[in-house]
Structures are given as C-alpha cells and as structure tokens.
Structure 1
Amino acid sequence: FVVDAKEGITHEDEQVAAILRRSRKPVVVAANKVENFDKQLEYFEFYNLGLGDPIPVSAMHGRNTNDLLDAVISYFAPLSAYKEDPDAIKIAIVGRPNVGKSSFVNALLGQERVIVSEVPGTTRDAIDTPFKYNGNQYILIDTAGIRKKSRIKEPTEKYSVVRSLKSIERADVVIVMMDASEGVNEQDQRIAGYVHEQGKANILVVNKWDLVEKDEHTMNKFDKDIREDLKFMAYSPILYISAVTRKRIYKVLELADFVAEQHMRRISTAELNQVVNEAMLLNPLPGGGGHKVKILYSTQVGIAPPTFVFFANKPELVHFSYLRYLENELRKNFGFEGTPIKMILRKREAKE
C-alpha cells in the first residue's frame, strides 16, 4: 500500500486502509517520497493507519527498496509449502519464437496467464502452471522461444533458452509447436532433434491452422512434408490446432495422456522374445563369416523411454539398420506411439 510521505495521510488513504484491514490479508505500507531516512517524523503518522510498520522509500532515487522487498517476501509461504502433484503430467511446450506457445497455454486456461505478443521472444522464462482437465492433473510449462545461436544477442535471452532446454529435461511430455503458415524450418528440426535425443515422449503440434487455405488434400500434404523433414520422429503423432479459435486444443491433452502412458509402457520378457524371434525368422541377421550372427535373448531394462537390451553372440556385426528393423517390429506389435525407444546391444556367448 503506497502512501505519500510529503502529503501525509489523506481521506482516501484512510478509506483504503479500512478496506485492507477488513480483508485480513498481509499488507506492507510503503511511505514514498521520503528524503531523510533518519527522521522518523516524515513517515511516523502512517502508523495511525493500523497496518503495521510503514517502510520509508524513495522510488525516484531507488532508496530503501531492499527493505521493502524483504518485507513483502516475508509473507510468502516457504518453498516447501508448494508441493508438486507427483501424479501430474508435466508438459513442456517448446518451439521457435512466436509460433503461439503462450497463446496455446492461455487458450487452455481460459485466461491471460502468460504474455502474448506479436513480438517474438516475449516470454522470457519457463512458466509453470498447474492445471486440471477431465479429472487429470497437468503442469503446463510454457517456455521462451528457441532461436538459432547466431540470433541470440541479449544475455537474458541466452538465459531463457537455457531454461527452456532444462524444461525439456524435466518434462514428461514435450509439445513441439510449429507454425502452419511457415512450415518446418531448420530451427524446428534442431528443437525436435533435441527433444528426441533427450528421450522424451512428444507430440508434433502445428498451430495457426486457421491461417492455412485448405482443401481435402491439405492435411495429407502437411503430414507428408513434416514426416519428410522430421524423419527421426516418425513415431510422433501430429496434431493441427488453432490457439486463436481454440480448435482441437484439448485434443492435445488427450494425446499427452496417451503418449505419457506409452512412454512408461513395459513389455514382458516372454512377449518381447517371441516378437524378436519371429522378426528374425522373417528377416534373418546377415552373414558373420564362420559363425552365424544371432540375437540370443532380449529384455526390457527401463522405461521413460522404453529401453531394450539385445544379447548377441557378435554384437559388433549387428548393423544399426537391423536394430531399426527390430524397432519397427516392436512398434508394430506394442505401439510405443509418441515415445523414442532405446536399443542396446550386449555380448553373450551362445551355449553349446
């Protein structure tokens, strides 16, 4: 509650003070325009407002603002009081500047929670927002737009990009957002590549779909172009939305639930080996000289992302293209839509 130390208590001050006292909320009185901080008489009368100790400040000269800030912070709940729901799905929204990340979050929440502007780079930090939909808990993480390194000039923006990359690391599901009016560019590929390398469940969301002139072939053409440009994410679902018209925005949350479940999926060892053995019968491992190359046994050793170990007699001779074939067979049989799969080869001697 800012008051004028030069003018003293006014009738309006008393009216506001009465409202604040009835609110039973913590109040800090800032007595502004104080020139001599040693003379309590300049602000002593504000004790009469009944709102505790007035704190003398000079906004013009920036004096004593540290004490004011300390007083405000003293009313904050300790960090330990803010507990993240362990069952909430953390969804990070990443993409180039101005693809509509903040507009999407605000459309979901139905309120202006984060700044929306036509100027790229308005969101400076990762902003966490707890959110509930259809009985499910989510934490939406809106991040600063990620530019090419050569175009990042301000130190604050460099910090924001680092925070955005950290947000990807702590998310359960990452929404890679693109602009329908611009298509996939090199920076989209870099961002998607980082998400893939981090092994995160993800959805490719194409925003601003309302700006595209459409016919019956438009979506198929977009699908084809995106699959061509992001070949390494062939497993990711694609969704076309408009944050402005709110079209299909809640479908994103339904897909997030689904890919989060796929990300945590575990396959029994018996089922896994059956599929791998059938795949090897259909397409045997090539060559290997005197001894045939064999995958003797396979097992799932981890989730988020699903991680599989294949024990082979000559792992060094198993080509990466054969692992890709096995990955495709696993996806064909078990799904794993929206999640990367990690494949590891280990050596194991065949029993005579």
Structure 2
Amino acid sequence: MPKHLPTVAIVGRPNVGKSTLFNRLVGKKLALVDDRPGVTRDRREGDARLFDLEFRIVDTAGFEDEDPQSLPGRMRAQTEAAVADADVALFMVDSRAGIVPLDAEIGRWLRAGNTPVILAANKAEGRAGNDGVLEALELGFGDPVELSAEHGEGMVELFEALMPYIDAAVAATDEDEDESEDGPLKLAVVGRPNAGKSTMINRILGEDRLITGPEAGITRDSIAIDLMWNDRPLRLIDTAGMRKRAKVQDKLEKLSVADALRAVDFAEVVVLLLDATLGLEAQDLKIADRVLEEGRALVIALNKWDVAENPSSLFQGVRKALDEGLAQARGVPLIAVSGATGKGLDQLIQAAFETRDAWSKRVSTGQLNRWFERAVEANPPPAPGGKRIKLRYITQAKTRPPGFILFGTRVDQLPESYRRYLVNGIRKELGFGAVPVRLTLRAPKNPFDR
C-alpha cells in the first residue's frame, strides 16, 4: 500500500448524514452522531476501506453561511481547507428533505474550486427519497450516487464512483515506489530429504555454513541466513526434508517438518528442490501444492544436474508432469542447477526475484478493466437456465499473493471453468506469470430483496 493515502472529504450542510457515512467507511464509531445539526465541529480524519479501495476520509463540519469570525464561520473555513487538500469531495445531500438553498450554495462553491466532486444522495432507502434524488440533478453534478449511510445500501455504487479518483491519486503518488524492493527477498528452500538443499545453500554462500552429508535428515531446524546477491539483500531459509506423512514416525522429525511448513508461511518465494537422479515424485507435487495453497510464489529447481542421465529428456518430462500436476500454476519456473558445481544458481536467484516482482505486482483498475472487457467480449459468460450472468467490472484487492474482486449479478452461478479462464487470462495478459492468483466473486445487494 502506498505511504500516502488518497484523501476523500465529505462535505454538505448540517445533519445530512456525513458522520454516519464516515463511521461506516472507517469501520468504527469515531465521529459523534446525533439528530441535532452541528454536532461535528473539527475536521475528523480516519483510514477508510471500501472493498479494496483504501483512502483517508475527512468528516467535515456542516457547511453554514456565517460570519468568518463566528464559530460556524471558523468551522466553514476548516471545511474549505479540507476540500482544497482532498483528491475528491463527496458532496452529500438529504434525499428525503430534498434540495434546499444551502445545498445550491455549496454546489456553487464546489464548482468554483479545483477539487473533483461526487454527488451522493443519502437516506435514499425506500421510496421516500425518490423526489429528492431527482431534485439533486439540478445541482449540476450529474446523477447522484443513491445510498443509505445508516443501512449500508449503495456501497457498490459509491465504490464505482470513487474508484477512478482513488486509482488516479494512487498512480500519481506511487509511481516511483516499487513494492518488490521492500527489504530482503525471503527465500525458503524446501524438498524431500537428501535433495541437496544444504549443499546448494552452501554453494550460494561460498562457504560450508550448513552441515551436509550422504545421510538424509541432517537439517532439523529451519536456518535463516542473510546475504547480498548482486547488491540485493537476500534471506535464505534452509528447511528440514519433508517425507510422506505415513513415513514420519519420529517425534523430532515431525517437529522438523512442522518447522519447515512454518518457514514456508513466512517466506515470499519458495524454491522446491528436486533430485534429478530420482525425478519428480508424488510427494514433490504435494509440497508444491501446499506452497501454492499458502499463497507463496514458487520456483522449482532440478538439482544434481551434473550427474543426471539423459538430462534433456528428463527436463522435458519433469516440465510436462509439473504442468499437468500443478494446473493452478501452469508454467512455474523450472531451473536446472547443481549445488555441487554451482551451475544454474545465478539463474535460480534471478528467477526468484522476478517471481517476487510478479507476486507483488499491482495493476491499475483502468488497465485491468480494459483487459476484462476484451476477455468477456471474446468469451461471454454462459446463461444458465436462459438467464444471463452479467459481469460488471473487476478490481485488484491485494498483492502478495495478488487477489481480485469480480463484481456482477448472479455470479454465484458462474462455472468454475469460466473462473479459471479469467484467472489464466490475468496471469498471461497482465504479467502475473505462474504466481497464485485469488479471484473473489461479489454481487451488489439488491435493496428490493427484502
């Protein structure tokens, strides 16, 4: 998340529900709410979240036309300052009371400034606010967002209205920040016993830092070692070998495997080390599956390449088996290495950094929805029972791993095959590669359901 959050200022005459909306967006009752007008006097700020949008919200005093030296006049000056500093102003009116002269005056003042304005008609639940919503059009800010701050209705529509402004502000302030450059790359090395994990790490370090030998299971604790690789910080984590659960009888080995799984949870990228002399086994796929389930980025290394027989056909066979066995992350990087000779280790570390970059990547909502429109046009969603599934838009909710929210109607009936089509498109078209991608489906609430 960017260090500087975009700012949204809520403005309007007293008692239209500004503080109620503020409390809903920050998720706490920070602002006092009462039926009497003028309860809020100072600017109150909080960190707000609306689905994946994160921003700074400012609750302002009710805008009143008073002498600048009076208390209401000084409150108005605070409101003007908040709007001037904001990336977007949310102009709130009361749809039940209709538009009054003070609303029109606030509208004229907002139009004279440089801050973009979104008009919101609050208390629009039921039919009592219909006339006020129509009246709000005369303020000259286009169609108002109809919402109920008290009941939480209209939040999807508010999200749609705010999204372009928040997105633009994030892009402007976050242009020079790179999420992938925030500390050492935390790289855990996992695999079956005796795959050569400690030997490979010693070769990367250039010293015999870890005990190695022909016996399986020498490493018991997860060992973290910090180093610099091509002037970039790296934290390597060696883990105990993971055998099939049925074969793990010894209590100490059980603790070692549990420790290795914890190391996976704390890592950013996980290298699964295979033994080229043994090929790919079912246990390797289980380990890979566990890594992806935890949302970690995965790179696979084929070790002991210097002593492998028929290396070319072996590599192709492992590649094919991985793509079939790891359908949820087809195309995971596969690098041939040798812990004994050092072959391929530079490419392995480089692939790990590149994979973390993809794992940390954020795509702007505009770019994402341009891709989304093309994808839906090329392959429209099915119509189960003759009723269309309408997909409205998509947005990225998080990174590490990348998570997306898809908004639409009847999305609960979207087939798993279509969800896979979209996830594969996100990976391929938007540069996420083979990292795990989460896609959540969400439908706006219908106020008439009840």
Question: Per the shorter chain, which TM-score range?
Answer: 0.7 to 0.9
Alignment-mate amino acid for residue 92 of structure 1: A
Aligned-residue offset at 1:141? 0.3
CA distance in 1, matches of 2:347, 2:252: 34
Contact 1:203 1:338 (C-alpha < 8 Å) held by counterparts:
no
Task: Indicate the SS of the match to 1:223.
Answer: helix
CA distance in 2, matches of 1:143, 1:221: 27
1:165 aligns with 2:261: yes
Matched with 1:253 is 349
Matched with 2:373 is 277
Aligned-residue offset at 1:187? 1.0
Equivalent of residue 410 in structure 2, options 314, 333, 347: 314
1:295 aligns with 2:391: yes
Matched with 1:182 is 278
CA distance in 2, matches of 1:342, 1:309: 9
Matched with 2:337 is 241
CA distance in 1, matches of 2:269, 2:326: 18
Provide runs of 4+ in structure 1 moved above 6 Å: none
Task: Indicate the SS of the match to 2:384.
Answer: coil
Query: Judging changes above 3 Å, is the alpha-carbon distance between structure 1 residues 340 and 253 closer, same or farther for their aligned structure 2 residues?
Result: same
Aligned-residue offset at 1:292? 1.0
Task: Indicate the SS of the match to 1:182.
Answer: coil
Alignment-mate amino acid for residue 175 of structure 1: V
1:208 aligns with 2:304: yes
CA distance in 2, matches of 1:153, 1:213: 33
Contact 2:404 2:438 (C-alpha < 8 Å) held by counterparts:
yes
Aligned pairs for 1:98-247 within 5 A: 98-214=194-310, 217-247=313-343
Aligned-residue offset at 1:180? 1.1
Contact 1:199 1:340 (C-alpha < 8 Å) held by counterparts:
yes
Task: Indicate the SS of the match to 1:94.
Answer: strand
Query: Judging changes above 3 Å, is the alpha-carbon distance between structure 1 residues 185 and 220 closer, same or farther for their aligned structure 2 residues?
Result: closer
Greater relative CO, 1 or 2 (CA 8 Å, sep 6+): 1
Moved more, 194-203 or 340-349: 340-349
Aligned-residue offset at 1:225? 2.8
Query: Judging changes above 3 Å, is the alpha-carbon distance between structure 1 residues 218 and 306 closer, same or farther for their aligned structure 2 residues?
Result: same
Moved more, 200-209 or 214-223: 214-223
Aligned-residue offset at 1:86? 6.0
Aligned-residue offset at 1:186? 1.5
CA distance in 1, matches of 2:378, 2:201: 47
Alignment-mate amino acid for residue 206 of structure 2: G
Aligned-residue offset at 1:290? 4.9
Contact 1:235 1:339 (C-alpha < 8 Å) held by counterparts:
no
Aligned-residue offset at 1:256? 0.9
Unmatched tracts of structure 2, length 5 or more:
1-180
For residues 288-309 of structure 1, give each alpha carbon's deviation from its aligned partner in whole angstroms, at most 9, with x where no partner exists: 3353101111100000000000
Unmatched tracts of structure 1, length 5 or more:
1-84
For residues 146-185 of structure 1, give each alpha carbon's deviation from its aligned partner in whole angstroms, at most 9, with x where no partner exists: 1112211221111111110000000011001111111111
Q: TM-score normalized by structure 1?
A: 0.72
CA distance in 1, matches of 2:421, 2:303: 32
For residues 193-227 of structure 1, give each alpha carbon's deviation from its aligned partner in whole angstroms, at most 9, with x where no partner exists: 11010010110111111222236545333322332
Alignment-mate amino acid for residue 366 of structure 2: A
1:331 aligns with 2:427: yes
Moved more, 326-335 or 95-104: 326-335
Question: What is the number of equivalent residue pairs in this alignment?
Answer: 267
Aligned-residue offset at 1:233? 2.8
Matched with 1:91 is 187
Alignment-mate amino acid for residue 162 of structure 1: A
Q: TM-score normalized by structure 2?
A: 0.57
Alignment-mate amino acid for residue 198 of structure 1: E
Query: Judging changes above 3 Å, is the alpha-carbon distance between structure 1 residues 110 and 194 closer, same or farther for their aligned structure 2 residues?
Result: same
